[in-house]
Amino acid sequence: MGKVIFNGELVERENVKVDIEDRGYQFGDGIYEVIRVYNGELFTKKEHVQRLYESGEKIGIKIPYEKDVLCKKLEELVQENHLETGIIYLQISRGVSPRQHGYPTPEVEPTFVAYTKPMDRPEDLMKSGAKGLLVEDIRWLRCDIKSLNLLGNIMAKQKAAESGCFEAIQHRGETVTEGSSSNVFIVKDGILKTHPAVNLILNGITRQVILRICKHNQIPVKEESFTVDDIKTADEIFISSTTSEIMPIIQLDGSVIGNGEPGEITKKLQKLFVEEIQKECKNVVLQ
Q: In sequence order, which residues have a C-beta less than 8 Å from that of residue 224 and are 6 or more positions away? A: 193, 194, 195, 196
The DSSP code for 101 is: S
Q: Which of 3, 45, 146, 193 is catalytic?
A: 146
Residue 253: CB atoms within 10 Å: 15
CA dihedral 47, 53, 57, 62 (to 10 degrees): 180
Shortest separation between residue 241's beta carbon and ligand PLP, angstroms: 4
Residue nearest to ligand PLP (CB): 204
146 included as an active-site residue: yes
Residues forming the site for ligand PLP (CB under 6 A): 34, 146, 153, 178, 181-183, 202, 204-207, 240-242
Q: What is the smallest separation between the CB atom of 271 and ligand PLP, expressed in angstroms?
A: 18
Length of the chain: 287
E strand segments, 129-258: 130-136, 167-172, 175-179, 183-188, 191-194, 221-223, 236-241, 245-252, 255-256
CB 199 within 8 A of CB 142: yes
Residue 178 or 236 with smaller CB distance to ligand PLP: 178
Min CB(35)–ligand PLP separation in Å: 9
Q: Using CB atoms within 10 Å of the CB of residue 28, give its burial: 0 to 12 exposed, 13 to 18 middle, 19+ buried.
A: middle
Least distance to ligand PLP from the beta carbon of 102, Å? 26
Beta carbon nearer to ligand PLP, 96 or 269: 269
Judged by beta carbon, residue 40 or residue 152, the one nearer ligand PLP is: 152
d(CA 198, CA 146): 13
Of the candidates 204, 218, 188, the one whose C-alpha atom is nearest the C-alpha of residue 247 is 204
Q: Pick between residue 5 and residue 169 the one whose CB is nearest to ligand PLP.
A: 169
Pick between residue 197 and residue 228 the one whose CB is nearest to ligand PLP. Answer: 197
Closest approach of Cβ 41 to ligand PLP, in Å?
Answer: 17
Residues forming the active site = 146
